[in-house]
Structure 1
Amino acid sequence: MKNRADVINWIEGLLSFGIKPGLERMNWMLDRLDRPDQMLKAIHIGGTNGKGSTVSFLRHTLVEAGYSVGTFTSPSMECFEDRISLNGTPINEEALLTCAKRIQPLVEQLSKTEYGSPTEFEVLTTIAFDYFGTIAKPDIVLVEVGLGGRLDSTNVITPILSIITSIGFDHMQILGESLKEIASEKAGIIKEHVPIVSGVSQEDAKRVIQAVSNQNKSPLYVLGKHFDEEVVAVNEERQVFTYTQIGREPLDVTIQMSGPHQRQNAAIAIQALELLRTNNQLVIDDTHIQKGLLLTTWPGRFEVLQESPTVIVDGAHNKEGMQALAETLKLHYPNKNVRFLIAATKEKDMNSLLQPFLDFQASFTFTTFDFDRAAKAESLSTQAPVQTKRYHENWTQALHEEIEQTKMDEVLIICGSLYFIARVREKWKNLISVM
């Protein structure tokens, strides 16, 4: 391997090994790297929705307080390397090559053992831990769970704090059909005596998390019980809310992230920071929190690409995400009709996902994109329980047509898959660069 392209080609070549839950391959590789994961002061963030936004709220605030912060997130939004970043800057080519060259021989050795070849995500996780542990050495690392929790490749770490943002119906073919089963998998990141912050709202899921916390003697802090948020004011650009916590003075906070769910994600981040502050693991004050949260953005989360007419990309791709999108539209654009451009993966059920929009004045265009798990546009359209709909198999052409047809009193929402959103954002950057 001589450059970043070689590394990316090598890693993406592991995609054919798919998803292989389990920690055996991770531990095998990390043991031979002298456990860089054990050198990290990490916060582990799991949940169905809200992980990336919560990571971003935490990162911006910690950087504002003067800390160097590593982040491991997925999927990529700007470039392949942005999954592994330091203070928001993706891993550089030299460091990527150094880590990849260390790990490649291990991957070849591992593939010949009873465990078989590691997956793309396992190799990415190992590169991230190696980079943070031996090269970047940040003050703190924010590690986002890839899928589930209990058997996710990130779950080899012992963090100083764990977070479960939410529980919802996603990846049921792997995590289980019921909220209890999914919550059990998510709760697998809870470690003995490590505090856990939860934004989970459903009673069945809350009971599971409480039981696992009790079993591990892990202090549990729950949104709506130990801490909360109360909205003060909302417009198209800002949300103002008051953060409340038992034993703490209320804190007024302004964020530019849209939707009620983002107020909750911000509150979860504040509670996490408060725990680390009171446990003397961080030095941080209210001004850092207020400035950091106000600065926070996260690509693809109700992200406004254009104002006139309004074009927004949003990563909503499951039932709970679509519900949050519907609530956000009603809150921030109550008087505008909506156009949707949607692409999704094969396992998604449009009949279920689109229920929150049945009372909207809206039109729907379904499309597909170059991804091995992408559903056909016609299939999505057939499933959709809406009247005003069409499909177009060429997503770039569909995008151009939707932009041209969107009126000034309408909002164009592009959603359905984070992988699709990433492609749209890349296309948008190219469009802007030639204008």
Structure 2
Amino acid sequence: MNSKPVNYKEAVEYIESIPKFTQKHTQEHTREFLERLGRPAFDRKVVHVAGTNGKGSVCAYIQAILEAEGKKTGFFTSPHLISINERIQIGRKPIDNEEFYQVFEHVYDAVKKMEEEGIPHPSYFEFLFGMGLSAFEKSDVEYIVLETGLGGRLDATNAFPCPALTVITSISLDHTMILGNTIEQIAAEKAGIIKEGTPVIFDGNDEAAAEIIQNTAKEHHAPCREIGKNAFEIREVTRKHIAFSRTNAYHKDVIWQVPICGIYQVKNAEIAIEAAQCLLGNKPEHEEMWRDAVAKIHWQGRMEERADHFIIDGAHNPGAIEAFVESVRALKEEEPPILIFSAVSDKKYEQMIEYLCRHLQTKAFVVTEIEDKRRVPAGELGEIFKRYATCPVYVKADVKDAIACAYEMRTKETYIYCIGSLYLAGMVEKALQEVETSC
């Protein structure tokens, strides 16, 4: 696109074309880019969140509590499921198309001046990050919840100089070609967001990762709070919610709820509550308000019952698949579920498939493929499933056909789960929206 985009649609087309002509840059480049934008939102209170799994949910819980306290918040997240606007949220809502174009235009103009001076164009993620900070500046938010894109140390979001708090969620093997082949290497990349003197709250359930994070925090004189498996007690697991108590709370018999049936969401909520206490102080008199905010959270694509007996979950790496299996088994369903599965090529999809087949009793697997250049062909995934599965495996390359196939097999009590990729979650969500619109 040679001329300047003149509306929202053209702006989105321009952003989607960025990967064709540029690539990821150094943090020095990102800092220069942010300088050209006028250091947007640099004076705001930022919560910087990294981790392999759970970081989006932790961000959502933190933002919900801050909003309940009357704080105006911005939230930068990725990826999006349906609309690119989802990546930039103000007050728990994506910015509208007009706001999106306004901040796009601001960033576009700055980038063109950079290019005139021989400075390379920002990458897709970097460009959106600049838009996010510009939107937060324009909307005059007080707090920004900033989710890393990939890793931490070299992520564009780490160019933000002085967060109020850093948070590191669970760590497992993912993006190993980029971040490293061991938990220790990946933890070191995630711990790269830790700043001098800035408090750190982290998931301490993996001992190897915890040691790396603790040592990094010590090197940076950063106060460190570890959230272990004994920080909470699960009291009840149902299809609609999970009830838990906080064993380290002022009153441990107070019951909290997360409205998502993923077991791992309790840990995510506990991390977020600790983060909120670090930011706002311990406020026993506000506990009921915080519990209400956590209980009402909605986070798309995370054990989301999108239709009757139809669940979308974004589990897309081995650690997330293990957590998914634990959650489904805890629900003790009357009948084995049907699973719709797809994956992208840079994930450990054979490991994910083997774990599902060996650890979850399943009525059938329906294998499909996503609309992305990194997709794994449905036929290839189907062959892997057939090596491990003891139940029928169906191959349906088209997502709509895969959904229809799953519905044809189910009985009244059978649950259908869509897992393996956030891209799949987005495609399934879009397909369901089209059906609802046509009805």
The TM-score normalised by the length of structure 2 is 0.93
Q: For the aligned residues, what is the CA RMSD?
A: 2.0
Counterpart residue type for residue 226 of structure 2: V
Does 2:271 align with 1:245? no
Contact kept, 8 Å, 1:260 with 1:324, in 2: the verdict is yes
Cα drift, residue 347 of structure 1: 2.1
**Deviation (angstroms), 1:116:** 2.7
Q: Counterpart in 2 of 1:375?
A: 376
Give the Å deviation of 1:18. Answer: 6.8
Residue 87 of structure 1 and its aligned partner are, at CA, apart by 1.1
What is the distance in 2 between the residues matched to 1:166 and 1:27?
28
CA shift, 1:371, in A, is: 0.7
1:389 — aligned with what? 393
Which shifted more, 264-273 or 229-238? 229-238
Give the counterpart of 1:145 among 141, 144, 148.
148
Q: 2:104 is matched with which residue?
A: 100
- Return the offset for 1:19: 5.4
Q: Give yes or no for contact 2:365–2:393 (8 Å, CA) kept in 1.
A: yes
Of 114, 126, 137, the match for 1:122? 126
CA contact (8 A) 2:245 2:255 kept: yes
Structure 1 residue 224: Cα displacement: 1.8
Q: Per the alignment, in what secondary structure is the counterpart of residue 10 of structure 1?
A: helix
The 3-state SS of whatever aligns with 2:347 is coil
Q: Distance in 2 between matches of 1:395 and 1:18?
A: 31
Aligned length: 428
Match of 2:431 among 422, 427, 432: 427
Give the TM-score taking structure 1 as reference length: 0.93
CA distance in 2, matches of 1:200, 1:109: 45
Conservation of the 8 A alpha-carbon contact between 1:17 and 1:118: no
Partner of 1:40: 44
Alignment of 1:28-427 (within 5 A): 28-111=32-115, 116-133=120-137, 135-157=138-160, 158-224=162-228, 228-245=231-248, 248-250=250-252, 251-278=254-281, 285-307=286-308, 310-357=309-356, 358-362=358-362, 363-384=364-385, 385-387=388-390, 388-427=392-431
Indicate conservation of the 8 Å contact 1:259/1:331, yes or no: no
- In structure 1, distance between residues paired with 2:290 and 2:21: 42
Stretch of structure 1 that moved more, 404-413 or 190-199:
404-413
Q: How many Å separate the matches in 1 of 2:82 and 2:234?
A: 32
Q: What's the CA shift for 1:259?
A: 2.1
Shift of 1:381: 1.7
Structure 2 distance, partners of 1:179, 1:379, is 28
Distance in 1 of aligned mates of 2:88 and 2:292? 24
User: Which moved further from structure 2: 366-375 or 144-153?
Assistant: 366-375
Q: Cα gap change, 1:274/1:145 in structure 2, threshold over 3 Å: closer, same or farther?
A: same
Residues 257, 81 of structure 1: alpha-carbon distance in 2 compared, 3 angstrom cutoff: same
Question: Are the structure 2 counterparts of residues 147 and 359 from structure 1 closer, same or farther at C-alpha, using a change threshold of 3 Å?
Answer: closer
Secondary structure at 1:421's aligned position in 2?
helix
- 1:77 Cα shift? 2.4
Which consecutive residues of structure 1, in runs of 5 or more, have no partner in the other structure? none
